[in-house]
Structure 1
Amino acid sequence: MRTMRGWFRDTTGGLPVTFWYLWAGTLINRLGSFVLVFLAIYLTQERDFSASQAGLVIGLWGVGGAVGTTVGGTLTDRWGRRPTLLTAHLGAATMMLALGFARELWAVALGALLLGMFAEAARPAFGAMMIDVVPEKDRLRAFSLNYWAINLGFACAAVLAGLAAEAGYLLLFVVDATTTVITALIIFAKVGETRRAPAVGARHKGPGAPAGALRTILADRVYLGFVALNLFGALVFLQHISMLPIAMGDSGLSPATYGSVIALNGVLIVVGQLFVPRLIKGRSRSHVLALASVVMGVGFGLTAFADAAWFYGLTVLIWTVGEMLNSPSNATLIAELSPAELRGRYQGVFSLSWQVAGAVAPVLGGLVREQAGNGELWLGCALVGGLMAIAHLVSGPARERRAVALRGATETVVPVVAVRPPAPEAAEAAATAPAEPLVPGADAGPPADPRRTAESTGVR
């Protein structure tokens, strides 16, 4: 029991209060993420759209998401994390209700486009805020906990969505919009602005200035190389949504069986994700990412030989282990490769790789399957996983050097805080007082002392 308590304290203790508000918002939002799970069924069965029309609507959701991540990243850096999150969540809730009441194809398509834009605009702001409030030494744990909340909420949402759909599909949209508003209220009431700016009089040491943000990102070959690797990984990973159900159908298995098999993904993550940080702590991120690529490649590659539900379930469990290793390492590396003043834009570019993969993966997978065959598709996924592992090992040292350089560059940044002009007497006293050393990375929010932070978080 003592060992279990120690593990729980090591996993959840010492994180800032703001993180737990963001974590709670993530869990609540994901508990109500009904619509995307059932959108294709809703469009074809309730709205009587054809399969091609439903594909168009879902595709427009992805297009809106690509625009949203780009715009959201820019607003995150220029406008601030908090106002961007609030606007995105409230806009998403509004468009969720509008989509639920839309009837004509053009209205549904427009609603999906705008909903995708607002929903995905929140991602860069949320990612930047997580990096802002969590110290570097705790980010692996924090991102693992957040990833765990995402999967727990989504797994519960899939079950709850089925029950809500029986009462009427409109309820799906209403509940989804409500949880989004609740998340916005948590941010409004409990989360302050976390964006930082260079200290007055301090020289900027980062790789670029906000005025040349796009030029800076396009010139950042180390970061773009990492994003490209994520794109290839996402092209493999997203085959479980598009091509896996088709492959299982060819094996004579029902859609219900596919649902049960794919649910193993969420179950394993919920059960095991909290143990991952301790497992990989102190290990080379490049080696962990390479191992994750190999494991995911093996899992998807074995699908070529699967012909029964248990075999498909085994493949899902294998590539889920790779996903669990990949996610926290990916998140912490993105955090360290993002200059403080450009975190929103960098997060937006990374999110864009997922949006592109979401649009390309089903088309590419379908073409490979039709032209080469089902087995070749999955063996190709294994090959991509192996090549990605080699690429991670080769590019890893350059990424770590860039992370060290940016870590030193952030020493001159301080939080943006509103202050009153000092009274003349105070200004005169301040001018003669000895200067206090600046603590790098100090927050205006939670206390920096890990013991005080642990006591104030109220962790369970």
Structure 2
Amino acid sequence: MRKILLQYIDSFSGLSKEVWWLALITLINRAGAMVIPFLSLYLTDDLDFSLEQVGWIMTSYGLGSFTGAWLGGKLSDQIGYYKVILTSLMLTGVSFLAIQYFSSFWSICIGFFILIAIADMARPAFFVALSAYSKPENKTRSLTFIRLAINLGFSAGPALGGLIITSIGYNGLFWVDGITCIIAGFVMIQTLNPKKAKEQDKEIVVKNPIKPYKDGIYIIFLIALALFGFIFVQYFSTLPLYYKEIHKLSEEKIGLLLALNGALIFFFEMPLIAYLEKSRFSKIGNVINGFIYTGISFALLLVTPWAGILVVGMIIATLGEMVAFPFGNAFALDRAKKGRQGAYMGLYSMSFSAAHIFGHNSGMQFINQYGYNNTWIFMTCIAVLGTFLLYIVKQKITKEKSTD
């Protein structure tokens, strides 16, 4: 047991203090993001919107995320990641405080579009900052560490949010969200000010940068990642419905099953990534493996009606997430050295925003039209297609390296 604990602690070694501060800022920010998990309840229970109206508001949310990712990438290259992240944190805090006073349908649609656009401006900027603060050999573990902070924040946020709703009401969520964003901004001013923080990677600036949309290998990679996001978001939209309607699980059991995802990531992702970094698999090879695991998790749902397969499927899907996301992020950062990092990482973030815009709604519509089993067959086929595209990327990279 002591050996396992030491190996777990060792997986965090070598990370710069700036990465630790970035993780703390992320944790504060994500722990405060309590409105989002309760957004549909707030819109239906507190504001009395119909489900159709909620659907359009969620579409506005997704479009705001897409716009913010694009804008954040552009601004990161023009004014620098530090200013983008700090501006995003402060303005997001003010926006959360303001939007609680909006009540009409159109004001909510426009308000959440602007709020999420401002909030998600920081996403590509965080990637660029992480690249700057990490030595090249530590990038994948640094990315994994930030993911750990995000998962901790998302785990704590809903629990605290539930307490706030019962004791204060929904308005309390907006106040806490707004204040925590502003606190995260002040922590950044004190710890990551360019005059204080030390950049670890000096390979960021390149001559004659390539525009990301002209990088054919990167575009194919992003299409594959968007497909991965498309099927992965089903675990937080269509699959909970499947658990309840087909397997008759209670909300409590569904919550525990979803919590298993976060627990596995917390305990195993850092050691797993530290191990895989030393393995013979390339970054893109690990992304391929992660995609395959996630595809298998959907195929398993077709094999047996046994409820235990849901746990097995969640474990395999989480393994796919733990392998695909960190190495996918790392591959994108490596590729971004060919051009402007902000534009590259903005496009990377946009691929996942697109998955959120289309994935949830498409999954719901597919279930409504063709049923659950046909939906899982469709998702498995998407996984096969995405894996094939990643294999093409791998072959092109091998050819590219041989001609360099």
Q: TM-score, normalised by structure 1?
A: 0.80
- The CA deviation at 1:394 is 3.0
Counterpart of 2:386 in structure 1 is: 388
> Structure 1 runs of 4+ off > 4 angstroms?
203-207, 305-309, 400-405
Tell me if structure 2 keeps the 8 A contact 1:301–1:380. Answer: no
Letter in 2 for 1:123: R
Counterpart of 1:271 in structure 2 is: 267
Compared with structure 1, are the counterparts of its residues 9 and 308 closer, same or farther at alpha carbon in structure 2 (3 Å cutoff)? closer
Q: Is residue 159 of structure 2 the alignment partner of residue 159 of structure 1?
A: yes
Compared with structure 1, are the counterparts of its residues 129 and 308 closer, same or farther at alpha carbon in structure 2 (3 Å cutoff)? same
Counterpart of 2:231 in structure 1 is: 236
Compared with structure 1, are the counterparts of its residues 67 and 316 closer, same or farther at alpha carbon in structure 2 (3 Å cutoff)? same
Tell me if structure 2 keeps the 8 A contact 1:69–1:117. Answer: yes
- Unpaired segments ≥5 residues, structure 1: 209-215, 409-460
Letter in 2 for 1:321: L
Count residues in correspondence: 394
Q: Is residue 53 of structure 2 the alignment partner of residue 62 of structure 1?
A: no
| Cα distance in 2 for residues equivalent to 1:16 and 1:256 | 40
- The CA deviation at 1:181 is 1.1
Q: Is residue 222 of structure 2 the alignment partner of residue 224 of structure 1?
A: no
Of the candidates 320, 323, 342, which is equivalent to residue 321 of structure 2?
323
Counterpart of 1:428 in structure 2 is: none
| Cα distance in 2 for residues equivalent to 1:94 and 1:402 | 47
- The CA deviation at 1:101 is 2.3
| Cα distance in 1 for residues equivalent to 2:105 and 2:181 | 25
- The CA deviation at 1:361 is 0.8
- The CA deviation at 1:28 is 1.3
For 1:246-293, what per-residue CA distance to the aligned partner results, in whole angstroms no more than 9, with x for missing partners? 222322333343222211111111121121122211332232222111
Of the candidates 258, 262, 265, which is equivalent to residue 262 of structure 1?
258
Compared with structure 1, are the counterparts of its residues 106 and 291 closer, same or farther at alpha carbon in structure 2 (3 Å cutoff)? same
Tell me if structure 1 keeps the 8 A contact 2:18–2:198. Answer: no
Counterpart of 1:170 in structure 2 is: 171
- The CA deviation at 1:8 is 4.4
| Cα distance in 1 for residues equivalent to 2:6 and 2:44 | 50
For 1:60-89, what per-residue CA distance to the aligned partner results, in whole angstroms no more than 9, with x for missing partners? 111111111111110000011111111111
| Cα distance in 1 for residues equivalent to 2:286 and 2:93 | 38
Q: Is residue 97 of structure 2 the alignment partner of residue 97 of structure 1?
A: yes
Tell me if structure 2 keeps the 8 A contact 1:261–1:309. Answer: no
Counterpart of 2:344 in structure 1 is: 346
For 1:341-395, what per-residue CA distance to the aligned partner results, in whole angstroms no more than 9, with x for missing partners? 6111111101111111111112322333233321011122222223323332332
Compared with structure 1, are the counterparts of its residues 128 and 99 closer, same or farther at alpha carbon in structure 2 (3 Å cutoff)? same
Tell me if structure 2 keeps the 8 A contact 1:124–1:344. Answer: yes
Counterpart of 2:186 in structure 1 is: 185
Letter in 1 for 2:294: M
Pick the structure with greater CA Rg: 1
Counterpart of 2:331 in structure 1 is: 333
| Cα distance in 2 for residues equivalent to 1:47 and 1:172 | 15
| Cα distance in 2 for residues equivalent to 1:279 and 1:31 | 29
- The CA deviation at 1:34 is 0.6
Letter in 2 for 1:384: I
Tell me if structure 1 keeps the 8 A contact 2:35–2:173. Answer: yes
For 1:415-458, what per-residue CA distance to the aligned partner results, in whole angstroms no more than 9, with x for missing partners? xxxxxxxxxxxxxxxxxxxxxxxxxxxxxxxxxxxxxxxxxxxx
- The CA deviation at 1:20 is 1.1
3-state SS of 1:354 partner:
helix
Compared with structure 1, are the counterparts of its residues 294 and 127 closer, same or farther at alpha carbon in structure 2 (3 Å cutoff)? same
Q: What do you get for the CA RMSD once the two structures are aligned?
A: 2.5
Letter in 2 for 1:170: N
Tell me if structure 1 keeps the 8 A contact 2:99–2:111. Answer: yes
Letter in 2 for 1:184: G
Compared with structure 1, are the counterparts of its residues 269 and 36 closer, same or farther at alpha carbon in structure 2 (3 Å cutoff)? same
Q: Is residue 296 of structure 2 the alignment partner of residue 298 of structure 1?
A: yes
| Cα distance in 2 for residues equivalent to 1:2 and 1:313 | 28
- The CA deviation at 1:206 is 4.7
Tell me if structure 2 keeps the 8 A contact 1:234–1:357. Answer: yes
Letter in 2 for 1:158: P
| Cα distance in 1 for residues equivalent to 2:363 and 2:328 | 24
For 1:291-325, what per-residue CA distance to the aligned partner results, in whole angstroms no more than 9, with x for missing partners? 11111011122234565654323321220111011
Tell me if structure 2 keeps the 8 A contact 1:337–1:403. Answer: no
For 1:157-212, what per-residue CA distance to the aligned partner results, in whole angstroms no more than 9, with x for missing partners? 1222111111211111111112211111121111134899xx9xxx954543xxxx
Q: Is residue 86 of structure 2 the alignment partner of residue 86 of structure 1?
A: yes
Percent identity over the alignment?
26
Letter in 2 for 1:360: F
Tell me if structure 2 keeps the 8 A contact 1:69–1:124. Answer: yes
Tell me if structure 2 keeps the 8 A contact 1:337–1:402. Answer: no
Of the candidates 369, 372, 377, which is equivalent to residue 371 of structure 1?
369
| Cα distance in 2 for residues equivalent to 1:273 and 1:364 | 30
